[in-house]
Amino acid sequence: MVHPRNVVLVGASDRPGSWPATVWKTAHEHGFKGRIYAVNPNRDTIGGEPCYKDFASLPEKPDHVAFLTPAQHVPAGLAAAAAAGARSATVFASGFGEDGSPDGLRLAAELARVVEETGIGVTGPNCTGNIIADSGVVTLVDHRKLNVAPGVVSLVGQSGGVLLYANHILADRGIQIGKLITSGNEIGLNCADYIAYLAQDDATRVIFCYLESIKDLGKFKAACALARDNGKPVIVFKIGASEEGRKAAMTHTGALAGSSAVFDAVLQDVGVLRADSLDEAVEMIELVVHLGVPIGFNIGAMSLSGAYRGILVDAAAGSGMKFPPLADDVETRLTALLGVGSSAGNPTDGGFTVLTSVEKYIEAVDIFCDDPNLDVLVLQAELPREEGMAAHWEERFQGIHDLVTRRGKKLAFISMFSRMYTDYTRKLRADLPNVAFIHETTKSVSALARLARWSQLAERAKREAAAISNEKRQASAAAIALRQRAGVSSGTFLLNERDSKQLLGAYGMAVTREEVAGSEDEAVRLADAIGYPVVLKAVSDRLYHKSDIGAVQLGLGNADAVRAAYRLIHENVARSGFKGELDGILVCQQIDGGTELVAGIQRDPEMGPVLMVGSGGVLLELMQDVAFAPLPVSRERALELIRSTRISKLLGGYRGEAAHDLARVADSLVALGNLAVDLGDALESIDINPLVSRAGDKDPIALDAVVVLGREAAH
């Protein structure tokens, strides 16, 4: 697909204004060294070149075949192409079940069968073609002028429209796209395949991916991790942050999209940079192309006004980017250089001095370069739109560019607003390859912060991979037995609370002392042994929300209270209309005090099982304070996860309260993650609410838990 010997356009046309004519035209304009053939049984020539009736009529075996035909002709055509020797194909047509229509779904199944049987590599259907600049293969449906030349940026994605616009916007910024691949519905190859290829492509330094859904999570994670390990950020813009967005994604490509928060949690660890907007993605690409990675969190900044100094500081607040105090000698030298009307510090207000003197402007930046604590320098400036429009700025830009190139420093010029480039701007910008020009303060600082976070996570991933690979752990007998049980089940099933908590206990998590009673007398005997006060609960693998029907009784301080509660629970269960059989009444140790957390495993429809932790008890629905992490979970990752929640402030000893040992909470989360890994595809969910964290040297303890299992197909 990337370096074909020839390109065959099936259904080719030169009819003015038609999209097949656009593909015919673009295919011929960009220096492809192989032959381009037209196949159309209704034409003898196209564009003055011979047109062939079928694949057998071609002078050589087809290699890459682009289908410009309606959907109903594609499956048979693809089978014929593969039989004739084609190794790859692009399918432009829609109508393969994007809207859920029976005929479309039937065509999609036919196409998938041909791909499976022949092994031919297919991009599409429902795509807009590709650009492979270094081989000159251009099959893009784009009427606008294309500037095709090798570049270090590659674009892939499930929307041809988004990639076409991104290509032009980046070209306007002087950023050349080396490869652009529109994947469409992904019947055949998908974004993971393209990312894995680009991760090993020497010409590619940064990958942008537009996503609506992920077809193969394991493959996608592996591809992104490969790119990360090769120092290539994968910048993703994904729709589906809202419920409406998820529905839109389904109607476009017919795929199921999961939670945005879970997507971020799972994929940030494998090197995915999530962009909040397409504009922010452009700034990230600009930074990677011209500064490279890694990028650190410490900014050294110089503004041209006091107002912009404040705007910059506000934009960085909460992003993770910092303005550390300047080294003493650096601040002293800046103060002496800039004089009255300026304000040395970080950020520095350069004031009148740097505006009027090119030499002092460059000298000030040279002084900043001497501070070893600064990772990236940011200067307020805008590229002029016309020659002579901004006196001496061309000289300033060239002087700063040469300075930071010589000193090996990362530097970005930042503009207060977003601006379009003119031909003059692009020419000036092209002469300054080792500095970045980023637009609009908030999105630019956010882009810096995300790249710094990517750099941090890439380093952490190496440590965690080593730690996890060195860990030798075997699944428990209980997990193995449950996997076997799930394998023969007809659907999902619950473990009752007692069995769920025993499973947690087998993995080292603290659970309440408890036993199941079959009679009032046994309940009293167990309560006496456990110690008052106790809690009584109905136990059944078919009863999930026990509190809602009065099947939980708290604060039972003596035998009479236990007997009364035992009877009341049975009465309430009967009154609720519950049709199942109770396994008995659970007599539990009552835990008072502590801070209630929620912890568990959720199975996202797109991203698979993830660990969650956050505010529990009645605060769960009120605060919506939860954080997610992929499996398995290291102790370092678990600690970071807890600290990312708002409830962590209470755990840290809020307003004089005793602090909790977060390491103990982290160890419980690691154990929970290990259990989930051992259960594998048999696991649907684990819900621990509450998991009570306690001050001092006490482990967090699970007060209630439900484990849901089932065959993989039942999820």
Phi, psi of 318 (to 5 degrees): 80, -5
What's the pLDDT score for residue 715?
52
Token digits for 183?
């994947």
189 falls within a domain: no
Which of 424, 458, 492 finishes a domain? 458
The closest of 234, 174, 183 to 204, measured between CA atoms, is 234
Number of H helices, E strands in the chain: 24, 31
667 falls within a domain: yes
Query: pTM for this structure?
Result: 0.87
Using the structure block, give the residue that is written with the tokens 């009967």. Answer: 574
Q: Could you tell me the CATH number of the domain that includes residue 71? A: 3.40.50.720
Structurally, the chain folds into a number of domains equal to 4
- The DSSP bridge partners found for residue 10 are 39, 67
Q: Give the burial class of 710: count Cβ atoms within 10 A of its Cβ; 0-12 exposed, 13-18 middle, 19 or more buried.
A: buried
Token digits for 124?
């599409």
Compute the radius of gyration of the chain from its Cα atoms. 31
Identify whether the C-beta of residue 26 lies closer than 8 Å to the C-beta of residue 51: no
- Looking at the structure, do residues 605 and 572 belong to the same domain, yes or no? no
Q: Could you tell me the CATH number of the domain that includes residue 309? A: 3.40.50.261
52 falls within a domain: yes
Token digits for 494?
């619950």
Q: Which domain holds residue 91?
A: 1-141
Q: Give the burial class of 148: count Cβ atoms within 10 A of its Cβ; 0-12 exposed, 13-18 middle, 19 or more buried.
A: buried
Which of 433, 458, 483 finishes a domain? 458
Q: Give the burial class of 75: count Cβ atoms within 10 A of its Cβ; 0-12 exposed, 13-18 middle, 19 or more buried.
A: buried
What's the pLDDT score for residue 257?
39
Which of 565, 590, 615 finishes a domain? 590
What's the pLDDT score for residue 354?
87
In DSSP notation, 115-182 reads HHHH--EEE-SS---EEETTTTEE-----S-------SEEEEES-HHHHHHHHHHHHHTTPPEEEEEE
Q: Could you tell me the CATH number of the domain that includes residue 570? A: 3.30.1490.20
Q: How far apart are CA 138 and CA 153, in angstroms?
A: 16
551 falls within a domain: yes
- Looking at the structure, do residues 302 and 437 belong to the same domain, yes or no? yes
For the stretch 344-402, pLDDT in tens is: 999 999 988 888 899 999 999 999 999 999 999 999 998 888 887 666 888 999 999 99
657 falls within a domain: yes
Q: How far apart are CA 637 and CA 642, in angstroms?
A: 9
- Looking at the structure, do residues 11 and 90 belong to the same domain, yes or no? yes
- Looking at the structure, do residues 523 and 449 belong to the same domain, yes or no? no
- Looking at the structure, do residues 608 and 563 belong to the same domain, yes or no? no
What's the pLDDT score for residue 248?
46
Token digits for 81?
């192409």
- Looking at the structure, do residues 98 and 24 belong to the same domain, yes or no? yes
Please list, in sequence order, all residues whose beta carbon lies within 8 angstroms of the beta carbon of residue 224, skipping any fewer than 6 positions away: 195, 234, 267, 270, 271, 272
- Looking at the structure, do residues 3 and 122 belong to the same domain, yes or no? yes
- Looking at the structure, do residues 527 and 609 belong to the same domain, yes or no? no
For the stretch 460-502, pLDDT in tens is: 887 776 665 556 678 889 999 999 999 888 888 999 999 999 9
Q: Which amino acid is at 475?
A: A
Q: How far apart are CA 561 and CA 597, in angstroms?
A: 28
In DSSP notation, 252-316 reads HHS-----HHHHHHHHHTTTEEE-SSHHHHHHHHHHHHHH-S---SBEEEEESSHHHHHHHHHHH
Token digits for 18?
């038609």
Identify whether the C-beta of residue 657 lies closer than 8 Å to the C-beta of residue 650: yes
The closest of 195, 201, 278 to 234, measured between CA atoms, is 195
What's the pLDDT score for residue 57?
96
- Looking at the structure, do residues 662 and 557 belong to the same domain, yes or no? no
Q: Could you tell me the CATH number of the domain that includes residue 699? A: 3.30.470.20
What's the pLDDT score for residue 466?
64
216 falls within a domain: no
User: 699: alpha, beta or left, given left = phi > 0 and alpha = psi -120 to 50?
Assistant: beta
The closest of 634, 629, 651 to 696, measured between CA atoms, is 651
Identify whether the C-beta of residue 259 lies closer than 8 Å to the C-beta of residue 249: no
Identify whether the C-beta of residue 604 lies closer than 8 Å to the C-beta of residue 612: no
Phi, psi of 173 (to 5 degrees): -85, 5
- Looking at the structure, do residues 307 and 453 belong to the same domain, yes or no? yes
Pairing of β 584-589 and β 514-517: antiparallel
What's the pLDDT score for residue 468?
59
Identify whether the C-beta of residue 573 lies closer than 8 Å to the C-beta of residue 616: no
Q: Which amino acid is at 192?
A: A
Identify whether the C-beta of residue 81 lies closer than 8 Å to the C-beta of residue 58: no
Those residues of the chain that have pLDDT short of 50 are: 245-246, 248-257
Phi, psi of 69 (to 5 degrees): -95, 165
575 falls within a domain: yes
Token digits for 538?
């109905």
Token digits for 218?
């394991």
Q: Give the burial class of 715: count Cβ atoms within 10 A of its Cβ; 0-12 exposed, 13-18 middle, 19 or more buried.
A: middle
- Looking at the structure, do residues 314 and 372 belong to the same domain, yes or no? yes
22 falls within a domain: yes
Identify whether the C-beta of residue 267 lies closer than 8 Å to the C-beta of residue 291: no
Using the structure block, give the residue that is written with the tokens 């049975």. Answer: 570
Helix axes 358-369, 328-338, angle to 10 degrees: 170
What's the pLDDT score for residue 712?
64
- Looking at the structure, do residues 530 and 666 belong to the same domain, yes or no? no
